[in-house]
Chains A and B, each alone.
Chain A
Amino acid sequence: MNKIYWILVVALFLSCELLGQQVRKSTFEDVLLKNATIVTITNGTIEGDLLIKNGIIAEIGTSLSANGLSEIDCTGKFIYPGFIDGGTQLGLVEISSVSLTRDSDELGDYTPHMQALTAVNPNSVSIPVTRVNGVTTVFSKPTGDLFPGTGAVIDLHGYTPDQMYAGSKAVLMNFPSTGRRGRWDRRSEEDITKDNEKAMKKLKKFWDQAKIYSQINQTGGDYNPQLAAMVPVLKGDAPLMIEVNKKSDILNAIEWVNKQSIKAIFTGVSEGWRVADSLAKYKIPVITGPVLQVPSRASDKYDVSYSNPGKMLKAGVKVAIRTNETENVRNLPFNAGFAAAYGMGIDEALRAITITPAEIFGIADKYGSLEKGKVANLFVCDGDPFETKTQIQHLFIRGWNVPLESRHTLLYDEFLERDPGIKK
């Protein structure tokens, strides 16, 4: 009896603990959003209604009838498509300083076969924290050496990776850099050049092997998981996402890409503004960011990171924005807002976190705008979603009505007026 009593006490204690950490369940329902300002991104802004049916945007129009479905009055409010972050470690890293919670960085220089989708934790506490700010979809990517792995686009709702997978993957590559790795990097100029040459040789060797493998693979031969992971890239079925930032490295990467017949995406691209014309000329799409970062050179103008997306866009580059964050991917709209203020403009900055990343990932038929037939990833808010004070009031991911709860809101609810307060 005593034992059972204690088990019950412990169980009760644990369940209370869990209650404090988990958010309420979402509900899957057909719903009509009435009388909203609908910012479609691709078809202008419409005053009207939006119908969600079976997880899909079934209709956008005026005076739609609910026909018995539940209805949400959105008078004076706005509907936007869910924001898409083109580069994060969300779900792969829980607490970055605790190494055993870091699943983004496998050992080895050539690990393109490492699948982000395998290690994405659907129950990461950061996921609800992110989506309540209107970010519904992210590219989650491995980090590390030359070929760190294969990233995946995921929706921020679901209990298994398969339930979250949004149908697009990309193989990551860190282009050999001639930049310093940080202020602590004290290598001499010569050593940096030597290291870079070594890395370029390694790249060439692996790439040549992958090409041969891709050819003989058709007719049999020994299985090599590393090389096998490169086959979709070499066949043009999957993009190669290349992290590259320094001006001279970007130019080298352009030259390298031009020698291959692959679909390339450049990411990071913090000095893209210096070589924007080249990026535009060779039509290489860019997922840049974070916008909120210090300039990479002490000699840079203070605002180069803010103005970089706008400058590339004006030169004709296809530009999406990423945070490159983990727990603060929620700042994506603010990164876009700064880009908007420093030259990109509001409309284009909106595209950079909606339709443009959807296009770059090849999922624009389902994501990135409010259109009939697209996945119902959207949110309702009371103002400009870039403005810091704007509140998000309803959130739908794949048609699931997601409660606007996260660890952060739950702690607020519990502690704003703590009970007991100061009394002992």
Chain B
Amino acid sequence: MKNIITIILSTLFSLSVCAQQEGDILIKNGTVITITDGVKEQTDVLIRNGKIEEIGENLSASNVKTIDAEGMFVMPGIIDAHSHIALDVVNEATNPVTAEVFVGDGLDPYDVSIYRALAGGVTISHAMHGSANAIGGQCETIKHRYGEVDPEAIRMDGAPRTIKFALGENPMRVHGEGNGIAPATRMGMEQIFRNAFEEGKAYMKAQKDYAAGKADFPPLYNTRSEVMADILKGDIIIHCHSYRADEIYMLLKVLEDYGVKRICFQHVNEGFKVAPELAAYGAHASVFSDWWAYKFEVYYSTAYNAAILAENGVVTSINSDSGELIRHLYHEAAKTQRYGGLSDNEALKLITLNPAIQLGIEDRVGSIEKGKEGDIAIFKNHPLSIYAIPQITIVDGIVRFDINEDNYDMRLDIDPDEKIPTFYETETHSHHGEGDRCMQDVYEFLNHKH
């Protein structure tokens, strides 16, 4: 036992983790890619108490850790609008509608994937419920404060609430094929949403009637209806797993009928086919750079999706949905230059400001601006170059990854029974079948049933 404590403590020490969550740092002479205000050569960025205090030339500050970024590129911390890292559980696959559950109840700050994401310049990710249900659980926006061991410490306090919806094959397979209940089709999907919104509406009305003295009793408190009502009120942003144009269009219609405005479609491989409609509705799109053909509903898709969406005026981001891709989102964003010729700034927006907008945190992060939070990624070589190598990643003014202080084993938690660290054979297609994090915890559930 003593040994374990020593190991943990020494690991923590080696990470130079402080109890505080905000720090002071001066980054000197970098090429600063602000995203919102151009690229500034030989420029300094001063972070104090976790916030960007100043951007300019020849800044100085006493008693502040200084990083020499001469010849380096300094960009805002990368934001991933779709991930499943740092989660103990992903799917509550027991019902087509489980709006009441919340992945934030099962955060895992020990997940080494957080560190690996930091090593790719990613400072914030949207830890999402899976796609087993039409209406899945609520998600959590986390800050990659790796080294903190309290689950509370990785939440991004004040970030808007979000919820996972899912269309198409996954909920149809789990519930239609697996359980013999609707939705088995994309027609059934629509009715699941309409019924859920109607329940929320009725619940709100009953609450209102009671408050106005028109009813003797309030409605029986119901966690699911509470969440549906909050969506109707606009307090929760919907992030909807989707692929085909028809199902995307269907959900737009449903949301229009119920007056729900805040929607970000996730994956949305055929979003390019309804890009004008998405833009007109103000819907957002968070896409893969190039994943396709791993199932039928993504067979008619294109790596030019992000470029078409962006050119049509849809707020678009590139996400990972994978512990692998999250390590090089800067490269995934660069693919929009091969497939669609986006400019450097447009491409970088897809992994900074745009995902921030989609998560409702654009006032706090997503660009290097005075007053924003001190989330920074420093690269050797331009981040969109194939030769880019992340050097230092800073969250709230605290260095959480430094390539020069990268120890061999960065785990925070070591199983004392594990004599040799477990080796996993490569899963050839980690985004398919049983390796699909979006469908994690589903197969066990179905297997137990049959």
Which listed residue, B293, B323, B388, B434, touches A126 by the CB 8 Å rule? Answer: B293
List which B130-182 residues lie within 8 A (CB) of chain A.
Answer: none
List which B390-418 residues lie within 8 A (CB) of chain A.
Answer: 406, 408-411
Question: Is there an interface contact between A97 and B295, defined as CB atoms closer than 8 Å?
Answer: yes
Measured between beta carbons, the chain A residues less than 8 angstroms from B389 are 341-342
Which listed residue, A95, A290, A338, touches B386 by the CB 8 Å rule? Answer: A338
* CA gap between A185 and B294 in the complex, in Å: 23
Question: Is there an interface contact between B425 and A177, defined as CB atoms closer than 8 Å?
Answer: yes
Measured between beta carbons, the chain B residues less than 8 angstroms from A384 are 386
Q: Is B185 engaged at the interface, CB distance under 8 Å to the other chain?
A: no
Question: Is there an interface contact between B296 and A95, defined as CB atoms closer than 8 Å?
Answer: yes
Measured between beta carbons, the chain A residues less than 8 angstroms from B328 are 292, 338
Question: Is there an interface contact between A179 and B433, defined as CB atoms closer than 8 Å?
Answer: no
* CA gap between A362 and B328 in the complex, in Å: 35
Question: Is there an interface contact between B385 and A387, defined as CB atoms closer than 8 Å?
Answer: yes
Greatest chain B CB density within 10 A among A182, A328, A409, A415 is at A415
List which B109-147 residues lie within 8 A (CB) of chain A.
Answer: 112, 115-116, 119
Q: Is A421 engaged at the interface, CB distance under 8 Å to the other chain?
A: yes
Which listed residue, A97, A143, A294, A326, touches B296 by the CB 8 Å rule? Answer: A97
Q: How many residues of B contact A (CB 8 A)?
A: 65
Measured between beta carbons, the chain A residues less than 8 angstroms from B186 are none
Q: With A302-B327, A416-B308 given, is the CB distance from A97 to B426 under 8 Å?
A: no
Measured between beta carbons, the chain A residues less than 8 angstroms from B384 are 388-389
List which B278-326 residues lie within 8 A (CB) of chain A.
Answer: 279-280, 290-296, 299-304, 307-308, 311, 323-324
Q: With A340-B387, A415-B308 given, is the CB distance from A388 to B331 under 8 Å?
A: yes
Question: Is there an interface contact between B338 and A341, defined as CB atoms closer than 8 Å?
Answer: no
Measured between beta carbons, the chain B residues less than 8 angstroms from A391 are 338
Measured between beta carbons, the chain A residues less than 8 angstroms from B335 are 388
Q: With A95-B296, A177-B425, A302-B327 given, is the CB distance from A328 to B411 under 8 Å?
A: no
Question: Is there an interface contact between A298 and B304, defined as CB atoms closer than 8 Å?
Answer: no
Measured between beta carbons, the chain B residues less than 8 angstroms from A246 are 423, 425
Measured between beta carbons, the chain B residues less than 8 angstroms from A407 are 300, 302
The residue in chain A whose Cβ has the minimal distance to the Cβ of B295 is: A97
Question: Is there an interface contact between B426 and A268, defined as CB atoms closer than 8 Å?
Answer: yes
Question: Is there an interface contact between B276 and A302, defined as CB atoms closer than 8 Å?
Answer: no
Question: Is there an interface contact between A411 and B293, defined as CB atoms closer than 8 Å?
Answer: no
The residue in chain B whose Cβ has the minimal distance to the Cβ of A422 is: B276
* CA gap between A178 and B386 in the complex, in Å: 34
Which listed residue, B339, B387, B410, touches A302 by the CB 8 Å rule? Answer: B410
Give per-residue flags for A225-260: 1 if the beta carbon is below 8 A from chain B beta carbons, else 0: 000000000000000000001110000000000000
The residue in chain B whose Cβ has the minimal distance to the Cβ of A271 is: B423
* CA gap between A182 and B427 in the complex, in Å: 7
Give per-residue flags for A159-190: 1 if the beta carbon is below 8 A from chain B beta carbons, else 0: 00000000000000000011111111100000
Q: Is A204 engaged at the interface, CB distance under 8 Å to the other chain?
A: no
The residue in chain B whose Cβ has the minimal distance to the Cβ of A181 is: B425
Which listed residue, A297, A388, A408, touches B422 by the CB 8 Å rule? Answer: A297
Question: Is there an interface contact between A298 and B433, defined as CB atoms closer than 8 Å?
Answer: no
Q: Is A125 engaged at the interface, CB distance under 8 Å to the other chain?
A: yes
Q: Is A281 engaged at the interface, CB distance under 8 Å to the other chain?
A: no
Measured between beta carbons, the chain B residues less than 8 angstroms from A182 are 424-425, 427, 434-435
What is the interface of chain A mostly: helix, strand, loop, or mixed? loop
Measured between beta carbons, the chain B residues less than 8 angstroms from A143 are 428
Question: Is there an interface contact between B272 and A297, defined as CB atoms closer than 8 Å?
Answer: no
Q: Is B429 engaged at the interface, CB distance under 8 Å to the other chain?
A: yes
The residue in chain A whose Cβ has the minimal distance to the Cβ of B116 is: A302
Q: Is B75 engaged at the interface, CB distance under 8 Å to the other chain?
A: no
Which listed residue, B292, B338, B408, B423, touches A179 by the CB 8 Å rule? Answer: B423
Give per-residue flags for B84-124: 1 if the beta carbon is below 8 A from chain A beta carbons, else 0: 00000000000000000000000000001001100100000
Measured between beta carbons, the chain A residues less than 8 angstroms from B279 are 422
Measured between beta carbons, the chain A residues less than 8 angstroms from B291 are 328
Q: Is B334 engaged at the interface, CB distance under 8 Å to the other chain?
A: yes
Question: Is there an interface contact between A412 and B308, defined as CB atoms closer than 8 Å?
Answer: yes
Measured between beta carbons, the chain B residues less than 8 angstroms from A337 are 386-387
Q: With A297-B424, A386-B386, A408-B339 given, is the CB distance from A95 to B116 under 8 Å?
A: no
* CA gap between A412 and B116 in the complex, in Å: 33
Which listed residue, A271, A301, A327, A421, touches B293 by the CB 8 Å rule? Answer: A327
Q: Is A96 engaged at the interface, CB distance under 8 Å to the other chain?
A: yes
The residue in chain A whose Cβ has the minimal distance to the Cβ of B325 is: A292
Q: With A331-B290, A337-B387, A342-B389 given, is the CB distance from A388 to B337 under 8 Å?
A: yes
Question: Is there an interface contact between B119 and A245, defined as CB atoms closer than 8 Å?
Answer: no
* CA gap between A181 and B386 in the complex, in Å: 31
Q: Is A293 engaged at the interface, CB distance under 8 Å to the other chain?
A: yes
Measured between beta carbons, the chain B residues less than 8 angstroms from A268 are 426
Measured between beta carbons, the chain A residues less than 8 angstroms from B432 are 96-97
Q: Is A140 engaged at the interface, CB distance under 8 Å to the other chain?
A: no
Which listed residue, B324, B338, B421, B429, touches A292 by the CB 8 Å rule? Answer: B324
B302 to chain A, nearest CB (A): 4
Measured between beta carbons, the chain A residues less than 8 angstroms from B300 are 407, 411
List which A292-336 residues lie within 8 A (CB) of chain B.
Answer: 292-303, 324, 326-328, 330-331, 334
Give per-residue flags for B372-390: 1 if the beta carbon is below 8 A from chain A beta carbons, else 0: 0000000001001111110
Q: Is A94 engaged at the interface, CB distance under 8 Å to the other chain?
A: yes
Question: Is there an interface contact between B302 and A297, defined as CB atoms closer than 8 Å?
Answer: no
Q: Is B261 engaged at the interface, CB distance under 8 Å to the other chain?
A: no
The residue in chain B whose Cβ has the minimal distance to the Cβ of A297 is: B421
A and B contact pairs by CB, cutoff 8 A, 11 listed: A97-B296, A293-B426, A294-B430, A297-B422, A299-B408, A299-B421, A328-B292, A342-B389, A388-B331, A408-B301, A412-B308
Q: A95-B294, A327-B293, A388-B385 are in contact. List 11 more A-B contacts (CB 8 A).
A: A95-B295, A125-B293, A179-B423, A182-B427, A292-B324, A297-B422, A302-B115, A334-B386, A389-B338, A411-B304, A422-B277
Across the A-B interface, the 10 shortest Cβ-Cβ residue pairs: A337-B386, A389-B337, A388-B334, A412-B304, A327-B293, A299-B421, A97-B295, A411-B302, A422-B276, A408-B302
